[in-house]
Structure 1
Amino acid sequence: MPIGISDDHTELAATVRKWAESQGSIAAVRAAETDPEALAPWATLPAEMGLSTIALPESVGGGGGTLLDQAVAVEAAGYALVPGPFLTTVVAGLMYDDADLRAGIAGGRISVGLGVDPRAVLDAATATHLSVPTDRGHVLVPADRVQVRPGESVDLTRGVGEVVLDGADTAGLPTCASAGAPLELVVLAAAEASGIARWCLDTAVEYAKVREQFGKKIGAFQAVKHLCAEMLEISESVTAAAWDAAEAAEHGGDQARFAAGVAATICFDGAVEVAKACIQVLGGIGFTFEHDSHLYLRRAIALRAFVGDTGAFAAELAACARDGVRRSGDIDFGGQDAEFREAARTEAQRIGALAEADRRAALADSGLLAPHWPTPYGLGAGAVQQLVIDQELGSAGVERPDLVIGAWAAPTILEGGTDEQRERWVRPTLTGEITWCQLFSEPGAGSDLASLRMKAERTDGGWLLTGQKVWNSIAERADWGVCLARTDAEAKPHAGITYFVVDMKSAGIDVRPLRELTGEALFNEVFFDSVFVPDDCVVGEINGGWRLAVTTLANERVAMAGSKLGDSVELAVDLLDEVGSPSAAEKVGRAIALAQVVKLLAMRSTLRSIAGQGPGAESSVAKLVGVRSRQDSAELAMELLGAEMFTASERALAANDLFLRNRCLSIAGGTTQILRNVAGERILGLPRG
C-alpha cells in the first residue's frame, strides 16, 4: 500500500504517476545519455503542475497542504522516476522561510540543487539556486555566484557537482540553521524511497506471474515467492516509516526527531534491498541496460549515499530513545468519535468506581469487555467505537482481562453455534467462569490443518474422538477445548473436518506437559482415547469445521499500539549507557526502528478500518516483521549484556528467557515460511506451487 491512506491521497498519487508517465519521465532519462539537454524541462515541469509547492502557504503560490500531502506526491514521483531537481526544490522551499524563494519555485522561475555535503550537491550544474551546507548551517546561493565542479553519479536521473563557496558573498542570503541532513530532506527522501521500493516490488511480482521456467510460472517456485514476500515486508516497512515521519514532522520537536530517525534508519537501506531483489527476480533481463530496473537501483543507492550514513541515523535514534522519547500513538478521528465518546466515558468511569473484584462482570454485562462482538455479548462496535472505548477505559484506570484462547473460541461459537451454545459458553467466557484451550495442531499437521488425522466416529448421541494433539497451551487447566477432528475420511482434506467443543474433564483425555527449550512446560500434548463428545457440542455443520476454523467476526478487534517498544528493545536502550560503543548504539537504533515499524504497520491497519477500507497488506506483514523484531532484539539484549549473561542477575535471567522463548514466534501461528507463501499468494497474487 502507498503512503496515502485517504481517498484524496490515493487520487493525488494516481494523478502524479499518470502525469509523469504522460510526460515521459523515464524516456527523458534514456534520452539524456546522448542529449544533455533532455532533462532540462524537468526543472520546471513539476512546478507547472503545482507539485513543488503542495505544502507551501497559499500566500506565495503554494497549495496550503500538509507535509504528508507533499510526501504522497514525492512518493508517486519516485515511483515514476521523475528526474531533475524536483525533490531538492521541494525540500528547499520548506527549509527556507523566504517568500521570494517560495514564490519563485511556485512560478517555475527557481529550481534548487541541494547537498548535505558541498562535494555532492544534486543538480548543482543545472539548478538556478544551490542549498549548500556550511559550518553555520545551510545557505541558499544563486548558482551564478559560486563555482561548480561537475561530478559523476551512479544515478542517471540527476546531475551532481561540487560547490565551492570560497570567496562567495553570502551576506543577506537565506539560511537554515539545520546541521547535517535537514528534517525536511529526510522526510521527503524517505517518501521517494518508498516510491522506489514500491515500483521494484510491483515490477518483480508482475514478472514472476508471467515468466515461465521448467514449465511453471516462476512465481510458483517457493524461492521466488519468498523473495517477493520479503520484498513486500521491506516495502511496507519503508512506506510505514516514511508515512509516520511526514505525520510527525508537522508537529516538530522530539516526536518529529524520533520518527525521522526511524525513517532514515529503515527507508534508504530498505529501498536498496528491494531494488536489488527486483533485479534478482527479473534474472538476466534485469541485468540489461534496456530494462528500467537498474535506473531504480541507481536512484536508490545514490539516494542513500546522498542523505548520509544510515548507521549514524540509527545511533542518533538510540540517543533519542535513551533520552526517554517514544512515539505516541494518538489517532485523529476527524470527529467520528463524537457519537461514542460520552457514553463510553460514562460507562468506563462507572466501572472504574467499582471494586476490583466486581469490574469483570460489569465489563461483560456492559459489552465493553469485547465490544466488537455482537450484542448481547458485545456492542457490535466498529473500529472507531472500539478505539474510543479503549481510550476511556484507559483513562478510567480499567484494565480488560485477557480472554486468552477464549478470544478465539467464543467468536467461532458466536458465528457458527446455536443459541443454546452461545448461552452456555460465551458469557461464562467473558466473566472468567470457564477457561479454554485450542486443540488444532497435531504432530503431523502443524500449519497444514487439512492434514490432521484425529478421527471422530459416530456413536449413540455423539462422537468418539481418538488421536493426538500437540502444542496446546493451558490444556492442563482448561475447562473446555475447541477441537478439529476428521469426520469423513473419504472427503477432500478440507471438507471432512468438524468443529467440536470438548469437556477437558472427559474420560479418555490424557494431558502431558511438553517441556520446551526454555526448560519450562508451557505447552502440552493431549491424547484422546475414544473420548465421548455429545452432539450438542458440535459447532456448525458436520464436515463444516474448516470454514469455522478460519472464520472471523464481521467487526474484528482493533487496538491502538502503545508507546513501549517491547521488553528486549527497552532493555537494550537501558544498557546503552553501560556499553557506550558506537557500534552498540547503531545496533540498538536499528532495533528501535524495526520495533517502531511493527507498531506503525498496526496503526496504519487501524486507520484503514476507521476509514471503512478493507484490510491492507500491513496486518499480514506486521506478523512477519514483528517476529523478526522480537527475535533479533532479544538476541541483541543478550549480546549487550556480555559477561553478565553468565550471572543470575534479574535482567540476565529475563534476557535469557526472552531469547529462548521468542524462538517459537517464527513457528507458532504458522511458520514464517508458510506465512510468506500465504503473503505471496493471497496478497501479491503469485501462483500456487
Structure 2
Amino acid sequence: MLAITIEQEQLAEAVTQFAARHAPIDKTRAALDSIAAGELPTWWEEFIANGFHAVHLPEDAGGQGGTLADTACVIEAAAAALLPGPLLSTVSASAVASLADDSAATLVADLAGGATAVVVLPEDSGVRAMPDGEGWRLTGSIGSTLGLLAAQRVLLAAHGEDGTELWFALDASSGLALEQQRGTDLSTDVGTLALQDYPAQAPVTGIDTERARCVVAALTACASAGTVGKGVETAVNYIRTREQFGKPVGSFQALQHKAAVLLVNAELASASAWDAVRAIDESIDQHRLAAASAALMAVCAGPDLMLDALLMFGAIGYTWEHDTHLYWRRATSLAASVGSTPRWAREAGELARTLKRSTAINLGDVESEFRATIAATLDQASELENETPTDDARAPGLAYGSQRDLLAKAGLVAPHLPAPWGIDASPVQQVIITEEFDKRGMVRPSLSIAEWILPSILNSGTDSQRERFAWDMLRGTKRWCQLFSEPGAGSDLATLVTRAQKVEGGWLVNGHKIWTSSAHVAQFGAMLARTDPDAPKHRGISYFLVDMSSPGIEISPIKQASGESHFNEVFLTDVFIPDDMLVGEPGHGWDLAVATMAVERTAISNYVTIDRSQALRRMADTDGPDHDTILQALGGIEAHTTAIKAMVLRETLRLVQGQGPGPTSSIAKYAMVLLLRRASTANLGLTGRLAMLEDSDPAVIKPYFDMPSELIGGGTAEIQLTIIASMILGLPRK
C-alpha cells in the first residue's frame, strides 16, 4: 500500500468505497463495449465532484491542493478496484501540465474542472510541428494510446524543425481524427490519432520533458502496483479457503512459498512506485533513476506477477468468467504502454554508473533543537579519533577509541535504546541522527552481533548484567558471538540439545554449537541451552551469557569456500556458567531468542547499503560487445536495490507518522535474497574470465563466495518464506 499517512489511507479507502458503490466489476463487465468506445462511465461526474482526479492540483486552479503522493494513493486504489475509464491518463496529463508555466493555466483549470485527457510523450509521437504565421501546423500520427478515445484534451509533444520538442494542448472536440482499437485492457479504451496540417495555438512552455517522462512512469507504476497488489490479495484469499485432499491448499508448503514470493515482489513493486512519486521534488537525475527503477520493478514486472497470481487459482483463474484475467490484462497493457524493458534497464544502468538512489528525507524544521544538539555532539566527536582500528574491512564501524567513547556517553551509538544506554530516540529523531552523521561523512559505530544481544540484556537482564556488559558493548571494547545454531538445530532452534544442568552456584553446560560467527574473536557469547528436557520443546530452553575464555570451551574455525573462516564450531564440555549469567527466568529463553532473531533479520535487511554492482559498474565504463547487456544488468540490480531501500524508508516514514511497525523486516530479508542471487548471476555471467581468478580487479569471486553467509544468516530463505506465509499472509499451518 502506497499510503504512509492516516490521511492518505482515508483517501484510498474513500476511492475503494466509491468503486464498490458505483463500479463493481459486474457492472464494468456489462459496459465493456462502451468503455472500449471511449464513453465516460455514468458515475464519472460524481467521481469528479469528489475531487479524486485533482487531489494534486493547486487550489487556485480548482484542485485539492495535495501532493502527487496523495494522488498516487488514488491511482493505486482505483487500479485495485479495476475502476474503468480514463483516470490514469487524465491524472498523468494534469500532472505533466502542472510542470508548465502560466501558458498551461487554462489547460490545468479545465482538467481540474473535470475534463478528461491524455499525455503523449515525444517517444510515442510521430507528429511534426511547423510554424504557420502566428500559429502552428501539426502533421503526423501517434500510435496506440490508452484513454485517447475518452480524452477531451490531448497534451501532445511534437517535434520541431530544429529537433526541439514542443508541447501542444489540443481540444478533442475540434475534429481530431481518432481511430478505435481493440485493446488488451478491457477497462480502458485504446486509440490512435492522425493529424494533417492541424492548426494549433501557441505551444505550452516550461515542461521539462525528462521530468514529464518520470511523472508518467511513476503514476503508471502506481496503477500497476495496485493491480498486482489486488492480484496477490485475491489469490491468497483463495488458497486460504480452497480445499483439496481434505486440507486448505494454502497449507501446502509449495503454495505457501509461492504466495510469499509473490507478496515480496508485490511489495517491491509498491515501494518502487512510491519512491518514483516522492522523487518529483528531487534533482532530475534522482527522479530519472527512481522512475526507471519503478518502471522495471512495478510496471515491466507486472504481467508476470499477475500471471503467477492467476496460476494460483488453477484452471478456474484462466476462465473468462473469473475476474483475475481482467487484472492480468490491465497489468499487461500498462507494461506495454511504457515501452520496452531493455530501454528502462539501460537508462537505469547508465545512471547507476555514477549515481545511487538517495534515501534522504526532508524534515524541514522538525525537531530543530534536537538537531542542533546532535550536530554539536557530532562536531565534537569529529575532532577525535578511534585509536583501535577495525579488524574487519567489511565493518569499519567496529573501530573504537576516544570518538566512540564520546558517542556512547552521548547515547548515539544505539540512540533508539532507553537512557542511559541510548536517548530513547523517536523514529523522527533517528532519521535526524542518520542525516547528521551522513552530512559529516562519519562512520557510525557498529555493535555487530551485540546489536542482536544487547536488547535482551537491557529488557530481561539484571541490573548487574546491564552494568557489566552494556557499556562495553556500546564502547565496542568487547566483541560478542551468538551461540544458537547446532548441527541438528539450525533454523529450527526449538530442537536444540545442548544441555545446561543445574549445579551449586550455576549451571554445567555440555553441547556443540555451529555456524557461530566471530566466536574466534569474541570475549563473550549469548547461548541457548536446554535446562528442562521434560518441558515442551519451546519451554525448556534458557538464555545464558558465556565468558568465551571459560574452561571447557573449544573453538574450531570452519574454513569456508572463500578460504576465510568467519564461522566456527564451538564445543562445550562441562562448562560452568554462574547463576548471574542467566538472563531472565529458566525456561524463558525461547521468547528472548525470538526477539533476538527479529532484531537480527532487521539488521540483515540493512545489507542493502553494500554495493553489489562494483564489478559491473567498472565494466560499464569500458566499451565492448557486451556493453549494452552489462548496462541493462546493472540497471536491473540498481532498480532492485532502490526498491528495497524505498521499502525500508517507507516503513521509517510510517513510524515517523506514528503508525505501528509492519512486516517490512521479514519481507526485506527475502527481498535481499532475491537481490543477492540476481546480482551474483549477472556478475558471473558478464565478467567472463575474471571469475577464473580468486583475486581479480574488479573483485568477482570473493563477494560471490561470501554470499552464502548472507543468504543463510538470520534464517534460511525457506524458513523466511514460511514465516511470511504464516505470520504475514495468515495461511493455515499443516
User: Under TM normalisation by the shorter chain, which class is it?
Assistant: over 0.9
In the alignment of these two chains, the number of paired residues is: 686
- Select between 202-211 and 42-51 the one with higher mean Cα deviation: 42-51
Contact 1:56 1:63 (C-alpha < 8 Å) held by counterparts: yes
Contact in 1 for aligned 2:117/2:147 (Cα 8 Å): no
CA contact (8 A) 1:471 1:523 kept: yes
1:29–1:330 CA distance, 2 compared to 1 (3 A):
same
Q: Which residue of 2 aligns with 1:203?
A: 234
Matches within 5 A, 1:534-613: 534-551=578-595, 566-578=610-622, 579=624, 581-613=627-659
Change beyond 3 A, Cα 1:35–1:379: closer
User: Are 1:218 and 2:249 matched, yes or no?
Assistant: yes
Indicate if the aligned counterparts of 1:443 and 1:469 stay in contact, CA closer than 8 A.
yes
Q: 1:300 aligns to what SS in structure 2? A: helix
Distance 1:378 1:177, change over 3 A: closer
TM superposition shift of 1:679: 0.8
The corresponding residue for 2:137 is none
Q: Does 1:346 align with 2:392?
A: no
Q: Is the 8 A contact 1:271 1:300 kept in 2?
A: yes
Mean alpha-carbon deviation: is it higher for 530-539 or for 364-373?
A: 364-373
Look up the match of 2:467. Answer: 423
| Gap regions ≥5 residues in structure 2 | 126-141, 388-401
From the superposition, tell whether residues 555 and 496 of structure 1 become closer, same or farther in structure 2 (CA, over 3 Å).
closer
Out of 146, 149, 155, which is 2:179 matched to? Answer: 149
Q: Which amino acid aligns with 2:91?
A: V
Residue 82 of structure 2 is matched in structure 1 by 81
Contact kept, 8 Å, 1:373 with 1:555, in 2: the verdict is no
Q: Is the 8 A contact 1:148 1:161 kept in 2?
A: yes
CA distance in 2, matches of 1:552, 1:613: 23
- Map of 2:395 onto structure 1: none
* Aligned mates of 2:531, 2:604 — CA distance in 1: 41
* Offset at residue 476 of structure 1 (A): 1.5
Cα distance in 2 for partners of 1:43, 1:224 equals 40
Match of 2:312, SS state, is helix
1:293-327 deviations in whole A, cap 9, x for unaligned? 111100000110011112211101111222x2322
Q: Does 1:235 align with 2:266?
A: yes
Deviation at 1:548, TM superposition (A): 1.3
Which letter maps to 2:310? I
State the Cα distance separating 1:379 from its structure 2 match: 1.9
- Give the C-alpha shift of residue 19 in structure 1: 0.9
- Following the alignment from structure 1 to structure 2, what is the Cα–Cα distance between the partners of residues 232 and 414? 34
Whichever residue aligns with residue 403 of structure 2, its letter is R
Amino acid at match of 1:292: D
Q: Give the distance between the partners of 1:201 and 1:473, measured in 2 at CA.
A: 37
What's the offset of the Cα at 1:75?
1.0
Q: Output the CA distance in 1 between the equivalents of 2:58 and 2:636.
A: 36
Please, which of 120, 125, 128 is the counterpart of residue 152 of structure 2? 128
Q: Which residue of the partner structure matches residue 389 of structure 1?
A: 433
Match of 2:719 in 1: 674
1:500 and 2:530 aligned: no
Per the TM alignment, residue 73 of structure 1 is displaced from its structure 2 partner at its CA by 1.0
**How far apart, CA to CA, are the structure 2 residues paired with 1:560 and 1:4?**
25
1:505-524 counterparts in 2 under 5 A? 505-524=549-568
| CA shift in 2, pair 1:556/1:661, >3 Å | closer
How far residue 188 of structure 1 moved from its aligned partner, in angstroms, is: 0.8
Give 2:128's aligned residue: none
Change (3 A) 1:551 1:53: same
Kindly provide the amino acid, as one letter, of the partner of residue 656 in structure 1: I
Q: 1:541-573 CA distances to partner (integer Å, 9 max, x unpaired)? A: 111111111236999999999999633323322
Mark the CA change 1:517 to 1:187 in structure 2 (over 3 Å): closer, same or farther: same
Corresponding residue of 1:23:
22
Deviates more, 1:283-292 or 1:165-174: 165-174
Deviations 1:211-238 (A, max 9, x none): 1111212211111111111111111111
Alpha-carbon offset, residue 47 of structure 1: 2.4
What is the match of residue 480 of structure 2?
436
For 1:397 and 1:560, the matched residues in 2 are separated by 22
Is the 1:465–1:530 contact (alpha carbons within 8 Å) kept by the matching residues of 2? yes
**Equivalent-residue separation in structure 2 for 1:120 and 1:42 (angstroms):** 26
Alignment-derived partner of residue 393 in structure 2:
none
Instruction: After superposing the two structures, state which structure 1 stretch, 511-520 or 631-640, moved more.
Output: 631-640
Which segment is superposed worse, 556-565 or 458-467? Answer: 556-565
For residues 567 and 424 of structure 2, the distance between their equivalents in structure 1, rounded to whole angstroms, comes to 33
Which deviates the most, 7-16 or 658-667? 658-667
Q: Is the CA contact (8 Å cut-off) linking 2:224 and 2:331 kept in structure 1?
A: yes
| C-alpha spacing 1:14/1:479, structure 2 compared with 1 (3 Å) | same
What is the CA–CA distance in structure 1 between the aligned matches of 2:96 and 2:212, rounded to whole Å? 11
Counterpart pick for 1:378 among 410, 418, 422: 422
CA distance in 1, matches of 2:727, 2:572: 35
Instruction: Give yes or no for contact 1:141–1:173 (8 Å, CA) kept in 2.
Output: no
Q: TM-score, normalised to structure 2's length? A: 0.88
List runs of 5+ in structure 1 lacking aligned partners.
Answer: none
- With 446-455 and 64-73 compared, the bigger mean Cα shift is at 64-73
After superposition, the Cα gap between the structure-2 partners of 1:552 and 1:464, relative to the gap in structure 1 and judged at 3 Å, is: closer
Relative to structure 1, the CA distance from residue 150 to residue 22 in structure 2 (aligned partners, 3 Å threshold; closer, same or farther) is same
Is 1:331 the equivalent of 2:361? yes
Residue 688 in 1 paired to residue 719 in 2?
A: no
The answer to whether residue 105 in structure 2 is matched with residue 99 in structure 1 is yes
Deviations 1:185-220 (A, max 9, x none): 111111111111111111112212221111212211
Q: Distance in 2 between matches of 1:152 and 1:280?
A: 25
Q: CA 1:251 to 1:3, structure 2 compared with 1: closer, same or farther past 3 Å?
A: same
State whether residues 437 and 473 of structure 1, in contact with CA within 8 Å, keep that contact through their aligned partners in structure 2: yes
User: For the structure 1 residues 611 and 83, does the alpha-carbon distance in structure 2 shift closer, same or farther, using more than 3 Å as the test?
Assistant: same
SS at match of 1:166: strand
State the distance in 1 between where 2:697 and 2:45 align.
58
Q: Which residue of 1 aligns with 2:302?
A: 271
Do the aligned partners of 1:383 and 1:558 also contact (CA within 8 Å) in 2?
A: no
CA distance in 1, matches of 2:181, 2:610: 45
- Please tell me whether the aligned partners of residues 55 and 62 of structure 1 are also in contact (alpha carbons under 8 angstroms): yes
Instruction: Measure the CA separation in 2 of the matches of 1:215 and 1:170.
Output: 68
CA apart distance, 1:64:
2.1
* More off after superposition, 34-43 vs 380-389: 34-43
The alpha-carbon deviation at position 178 of structure 1 amounts to 3.1
SS at 1:465 equivalent: strand
Deviation larger for 375-384 or 64-73: 375-384
The 1:49–1:451 alpha-carbon spacing in structure 2 relative to 1, beyond 3 Å, is: same
Q: Could you say which residue in structure 2 is the equivalent of 1:10? A: 9
Indicate the SS of the match to 1:551. Answer: helix
Q: 1:612 to 1:640 in 2, by over 3 A?
A: same
User: Letter of the aligned partner of 2:307 in structure 1?
Assistant: K
475-484 or 89-98, larger mean C-alpha shift: 89-98
1:165-184 equivalent positions in 2, closer than 5 A: 165-172=195-202, 174=204, 178=209, 182-184=213-215
Equivalent pair of 1:569/1:634 in contact (CA under 8 Å)? no
Give 1:615's match in structure 2, choosing from 661, 673, 680.
661
209-218 vs 26-35, which moves further: 26-35
Q: Say whether residues 1:467 and 2:497 are aligned partners.
A: no
- Residues 674, 225 of structure 1: alpha-carbon distance in 2 compared, 3 angstrom cutoff: same
CA distance in 2 between partners of 1:680 and 1:337 (Å): 39
Give CA-to-partner distance per residue, 1:476-510, whole Å, 9 cap, x none. 22111111011111111100001111121222211
Q: What percentage of residue pairs aligned between the two structures are identical?
A: 37
Deviation (angstroms), 1:662:
0.8
Q: SS in structure 2 opposite 1:167? A: strand
Q: 2:396 is matched with which residue?
A: none
Separation (CA, whole Å) in 2 of partners of 1:109 and 1:646: 62
C-alpha contact 2:300 2:335 (8 A) present in aligned 1: yes
Paired residues for 1:479-490 under 5 Å: 479-490=523-534
- Do 2:241 and 2:248's aligned partners in 1 also have CA atoms closer than 8 Å? yes
